[in-house]
Amino acid sequence: MKLRKQVTVCGGAIFCVAVFSLYLMLDRVQHDPARRQNGGNFPRSQISVLQNRIEQLEQLLEENHQIISHIKDSVMELTDTGAVSPSGHLPFRSANGSWVLPFDGRPTFLAVKSQDCQFAVGSHGQADVQMLDVYSLLKFDNPDGGVWKQGFDITYEPDEWDSEPLQVFVVPHSHNDPGWIKTFDKYFTDQTQHILNNMVVKLGEDSRRKFIWSEISFFSKWWETADIHKQEAVRKLILAGQFEIVTGGWVMTDEANVHYFAMIDQLIEGHQWLERNLGVTPRSGWAVDPFGHSATMAYLLKRANLTSMLIQRVHYSIKKYFSSTHSLEFMWRQAWDTGSNTDIFCHMMPFYSYDVPHTCGPDPKICCQFDFKRLPGGRINCPWKVPPKTVVEANVAERAHLLLDQYRKKSKLYRSKVLLVPLGDDFRYDKALEWDQQYINYQKLFDYMNSHPEMHVQAQFGTLTDYFNAVYKANGVAQGSRPADFPVLSGDFFAYADREDHYWTGYFTSRPFYKSLDRVIESHLRGAEILYSLAVANARHAGMEGRYPVSDYALLVDARRSVALFQHHDAITGTAKENVVIDYDCFFLLPARYLVLFNPVEQERLCVVTVLVNTLRVRVLTEDGQTVPVQLSAQWSSSSQMSAESIKRKEDPQEVKVQMQFVVYGTRPSKDKSGAYLFLPDGKAKPYNQKEPPVVRVVEGPLFSEVVAHYQHFQQAIRIHNVPGVDGLSIDITTTVDIRDQTNKELAMRLVTDIQSGDVFYTDLNGFQMQPRRHYLKLPLQANFYPMPSQAYIQDSHHRLTLHTAQSLGVSSLESGQLEVIMDRRLMQDDNRGLGQGLKDNKKTANRFRLLLERRSEGNKMMDSGTTSFPSILSHITNAILNHEVLALPVLPKRRGIPPLQTFAPLKSFLPCDFHLLNLRSIQSQQQDPHSPSPYTALILHRLALDCGLETQNLGFNCTTTQGQLNVSGLFKNLDLQLLQPMSLTLMHSSTPLANDSTISLDPMEISAFKLKLR
């Protein structure tokens, strides 16, 4: 009774405060001194101001109603249980058998402004070419195209270049994989160092020679060993425009399995190295080898202030279509862009590969004759049986005309009379002889062409940016601007097929153990970055800078570079040799009674933290001696049809049928079989069967309940958390897979539901954005799989079912209402893409998921856009808690007794819940010592776009949005903000510093970087 009185008094007091606040606001509006001076004459502008204020007050009143309603509900929950602990301790079971926890009924509120919901339902920028439409349009047949087998016959009129000569830029390059067949160090020792040493000498011999390079991981290692003369020579070559760094990332990143945190981080690491050592700012992106291309990469390059980019590995049918419509160069726009702010100029290479036989023109038999490394007597030759010839005076005319014919045919596929001809391949130019063979013979051909005006061609060596600048100039537009009539494209380029039905969709899952490990380490790295930046800033603020061990910064730099290296397109993809994978593993390094728990997400969080202990007698205390509720759960070591049949949300009367099945794919009996890259199944999947029924164990407790089923090749744990808020609103699934005794088998988990999703499903690109997909019957089964770095969902007019994942895997929806994930692959043979071995080094791997069922609200039912889709606020937070678990950091006391642990809460207030703190990264010193921090910190923020058309339950924390506004100086506790400067994404380009008390503003989906000085 006493509690009910207290509730009534509290509720009444809250209501009075709310009403009184509104009264004061209205009073202030009515008694505005400026208005009094006007003697009651209200100009139209002031009436509109008054109208706006009244609307704001109405919104405030609505938010107050929501807050009071949430508090009332929470208090009623507390009083309705009527539960009193017999011993006074929590948790305990109430009379009705449910568990009562100390944090039940915590009042929370959700205040998402209606304006912050508009982006998801508003109109987005129109594109001339939408990749989903291209997929619908194409037959994906493969007729023989003649010399260009996957294309068509190209013809031209001889006089087409009479008024405007063809400009040809031959761009020498060497593609260096930081680990693939050999380890990173072995490649460097055997080849890469020689390529760069030769480059310094050979470019210096002739100022007309050019060369491009992309992988900073290799270049930085070479730089450290190069003497001062070589370093100075490189700087001169860069200034002279002979040597260009393209993209400038630590690696040429994969674009399918990587998370956007790591994509950005490896790009920053490369760019920061370039800025400190060379003063170089890359202008053009170069991605010749990633196996498919993501729209996220285009956005990140744009935000890093690059003006142009190049891509190569795109489905051959799409290349053919783009060639026939002269769309190989386009402005790549994000599907969610409301204007053209995200546009970046993109060049797609038209032919099969980036090697010399497939870059000069459509006929590889002829182009191979102009790869002078293949001259007779060398180690490699031309498969078409016609070798190159050294260019001499007697044959230069014939050779030049033969090559020009290819140049002209290739140029017919583009809109400008400017042609890009890459000249290189994997680890090329490692011998001085090859530099001479290529450069001397090509210079003879250029000299002949350029001295014969009737050929109407100007040919030269060039860098990638030389080419792009010539395109812009020919079209009369500024760098990075859209030339007239060039198409705008949105969408992505997955899945990739290089020939026949050979789809590169296997690598979306290959070596899942390392894909999972990568994400765990990324989360730890982000946590370490944030804690380090705040710790150093607090030490400076307290005047203890000298006592703080800044030498730890070197460890942070090593960790950044190890994670960055693993984003390489043969590392995280699982497509390197076994010994190389073990080498990558070496780059990743990590019975305490004391733990520091760090919550790395931006919001307050109530969740279960798992810690391994070796005793049943466990009590957990906070620093001030308060008991924390615990639940002991046995770790079963023995292993020997459980299935989830349906999901029902507490408040939702409607049950959704969800059946979890496990199925197995085999591989083809023919010569082409699945391997590390390719998925070539032997038909539809077959149900997983084992003779013995699974051993099933059920655990029930105050914090969670779980069912664990042990099968021969996997163990599945399905857990429901009994805590209020986000942790308790989704189902926690861990599937531990071990298929080491299998031969040519791929294990998949299939969710079968009664959701009427049709042929549409949604997968994320790099954890950054959602991409609608369609299942096509005209495509082979393997072509319908896509990368799932963080989530996939299906929906109908009533529900959305999202599978969140803590590791990147391949996903599809092969029937309406289904989601299917490939969990692991064991393959005994190579798939003829250069690796030379199968996938036989499988490890026991725990794949972690969250299954989230949401009800769609009435107004949201028939508004699905064909090109965009966005997660709800609950879905965003669910993904954050799955990918950024609370970090349990062991503390080893230096002396006997309890270490002096103290809570560190660095934020004055929580960020708006549509803001994600991507990183708070200490910037390296620009002085000689790269392993010490500068006084500056990079703040990288991403504003999430929200689909508010899904009903939101109690999130367990106070969630507000601010229309993208954030006051940075009011964010950090006990720290002074001395600099707030907007920067490009990789910190190489700066804008004018803002006033320290400025409010910054981000649009939905925008990623922005700021340089801070905190003391």
Which amino acid would we find at residue 971?
Answer: L
pLDDT band for position 956 (cuts 50, 70, 90): confident
pLDDT on residue 614:
77
Token pair, residue 194, equals: 């020689």
Distances (CA, A) of 112 to 730, 947, 959: 21, 11, 7
Report d(CA 266, CA 569) in Å as an integer: 13
Q: Which helix (H) or strand (E) holds 706?
A: strand 704-710
Is the pLDDT at 34 greater than 80? The verdict is no
Is the pLDDT at 874 greater than 90? The verdict is yes
Q: Which helix (H) or strand (E) holds 1008?
A: strand 1007-1014
pTM for this entry: 0.90
- Phi, psi of 578, deg, nearest 5: -60, -45
| pLDDT tens, residue by residue, 958-978 | 889 999 999 999 999 999 999
pLDDT on residue 552:
85
Do 857 and 949 contact (CB within 8 A), yes or no?
Answer: yes
pLDDT on residue 611:
82
Token pair, residue 434, equals: 């090859």
Report d(CA 472, CA 484) in Å as an integer: 10
Beta strands in 381-465 (DSSP E): 418-426, 457-461
Is the pLDDT at 36 greater than 50? The verdict is no
865 vs 448, more confident? 448
Beta strands in 754-901 (DSSP E): 760-765, 769-774, 786-788, 791-795, 799-805, 809-812, 818-826, 845-855, 887-891
| pLDDT tens, residue by residue, 230-246 | 999 999 999 999 999 99
CA atoms within a 13 Å half-sphere pointing along the CA-CB vector of 844: 6
pLDDT on residue 37:
40
Closest CA to 105 of 954, 1009, 1015, 1000: 954
Report d(CA 679, CA 507) in Å as an integer: 8
Which DSSP category does 836 fall into?
Answer: -
Q: Which helix (H) or strand (E) holds 717?
A: strand 714-721
Average pLDDT of the segment spanning 11-21: 41
DSSP-derived 3-state class of residue 893:
coil
Which amino acid would we find at residue 52?
Answer: N
pLDDT on residue 27:
40
Report d(CA 302, CA 985) in Å as an integer: 9
CA 429 to chain centre: 33
Report d(CA 953, CA 854) in Å as an integer: 9
Do 388 and 135 contact (CB within 8 A), yes or no?
Answer: no
Report d(CA 541, CA 1014) in Å as an integer: 8
pLDDT on residue 304:
98
CA 866 to chain centre: 22
Is the pLDDT at 32 greater than 60? The verdict is no
Long-range contacts of 892-898 (CB under 8 A, 24+ apart): 892/592, 892/594, 893/594, 898/594
Q: Among 129-133, 692-696, 713-717, 994-998, which stretch is predicted with the lowest mean pLDDT?
A: 692-696
Average pLDDT of the segment spanning 437-463: 98
Token pair, residue 914, equals: 């549509």
| pLDDT tens, residue by residue, 945-954 | 999 999 887 7
Q: Among 273-287, 402-416, 895-909, which stretch is predicted with the lowest mean pLDDT?
A: 895-909
Token pair, residue 468, equals: 């792009």
Do 333 and 343 contact (CB within 8 A), yes or no?
Answer: yes
Burial class (CB in 10 A: 0-12, 13-18, 19+), 196: buried
Average pLDDT of the segment spanning 107-135: 88
Do 134 and 106 contact (CB within 8 A), yes or no?
Answer: no
- Kindly provide the b/e burial profile for residues 816-826, where b requires at least 16 CB atoms within 10 angstroms of the residue's own CB: bbbbbbbbbbb
Which amino acid would we find at residue 386?
Answer: V
785 vs 2, more confident? 785
Do 563 and 522 contact (CB within 8 A), yes or no?
Answer: yes
Q: Does a cis peptide bond (omega within 30 degrees of 0) precede residue 91? A: yes
β-pair type (457-461, 166-175):
parallel
Do 550 and 933 contact (CB within 8 A), yes or no?
Answer: yes
pLDDT band for position 637 (cuts 50, 70, 90): low
Report d(CA 991, CA 892) in Å as an integer: 45
Closest CA to 371 of 383, 384, 385, 387: 387
Residue at token pair 């079968």: 752
Is the pLDDT at 109 greater than 90? The verdict is no
| pLDDT tens, residue by residue, 336-371 | 999 999 999 999 999 999 999 999 999 999 999 999
Q: Among 194-198, 373-377, 689-693, 870-874, which stretch is predicted with the lowest mean pLDDT?
A: 689-693
Q: Supply angle C-alpha 483, 484, 488, rounded to 5.
A: 75
Domain ranges of the chain: 2-112, 129-139+162-247+282-500, 510-590+649-883, 888-905+917-1014
Helices (H) and strands (E) in the chain, counts: 20, 41
| pLDDT tens, residue by residue, 753-765 | 999 999 999 999 9
Is the pLDDT at 14 greater than 70? The verdict is no
Report d(CA 801, CA 1015) in Å as an integer: 45
Is the pLDDT at 817 greater than 60? The verdict is yes
pLDDT band for position 93 (cuts 50, 70, 90): low
Which DSSP category does 692 fall into?
Answer: S
| pLDDT tens, residue by residue, 261-295 | 999 999 999 999 999 999 999 999 999 999 999 99
pLDDT on residue 59:
59
What's the mean pLDDT when you consider all of the chain? 88
| pLDDT tens, residue by residue, 843-861 | 999 999 999 999 998 765 5
Is the pLDDT at 641 greater than 50? The verdict is no
DSSP-derived 3-state class of residue 968:
helix
Tell me the catalytic residues.
289
Report d(CA 206, CA 204) in Å as an integer: 6
732 vs 629, more confident? 732
Which amino acid would we find at residue 242?
Answer: Q
Report d(CA 827, CA 740) in Å as an integer: 10
Is the pLDDT at 62 greater than 60? The verdict is no
510-590+649-883: CATH class: mainly beta
Do 70 and 953 contact (CB within 8 A), yes or no?
Answer: no
Is the pLDDT at 768 greater than 50? The verdict is yes
Token pair, residue 569, equals: 């397109």
CA atoms within a 13 Å half-sphere pointing along the CA-CB vector of 762: 24
Do 911 and 880 contact (CB within 8 A), yes or no?
Answer: no
Closest CA to 963 of 124, 118, 51, 122: 118
Q: What is the DSSP string of 670-681?
A: SS----SS---B
Q: Which residues contact 616 (CB under 8 A, 6 or more apart)?
A: 632
Q: Which residues is 331 bridged to in the sheet?
A: 345, 488
Token pair, residue 966, equals: 């954030």
Token pair, residue 550, equals: 């800044």
Q: Which helix (H) or strand (E) holds 749?
A: strand 745-753
Closest CA to 232 of 200, 273, 208, 206: 200
Residue at token pair 């020792």: 189
| pLDDT tens, residue by residue, 515-536 | 999 999 999 999 999 999 999 9
Q: Among 68-77, 298-307, 799-808, which stretch is predicted with the lowest mean pLDDT?
A: 68-77
Is the pLDDT at 745 greater than 80? The verdict is yes
DSSP-derived 3-state class of residue 966:
strand
Report d(CA 460, CA 449) in Å as an integer: 10
Report d(CA 199, CA 189) in Å as an integer: 16
Is the pLDDT at 28 greater than 80? The verdict is no
Q: How many other C-beta atoms are found inside a 10 Å radius of the C-beta of residue 35?
A: 16
- Phi, psi of 507, deg, nearest 5: -70, -10
888-905+917-1014: CATH class: mainly beta
Is the pLDDT at 191 greater than 70? The verdict is yes
- Kindly provide the b/e burial profile for residues 526-556, where b requires at least 16 CB atoms within 10 angstroms of the residue's own CB: bbbbbbbbbbbbbbbeeeeeeebebeebeeb
Do 256 and 294 contact (CB within 8 A), yes or no?
Answer: yes
Average pLDDT of the segment spanning 497-509: 98
Which amino acid would we find at residue 378?
Answer: G
Distances (CA, A) of 231 to 13, 190, 227, 237, 930: 72, 21, 6, 10, 17
| pLDDT tens, residue by residue, 306-333 | 999 999 999 999 999 999 999 999 999 9
- C-alpha R_g of the chain: 31
Is the pLDDT at 33 greater than 50? The verdict is no
129-139+162-247+282-500: CATH class: alpha beta
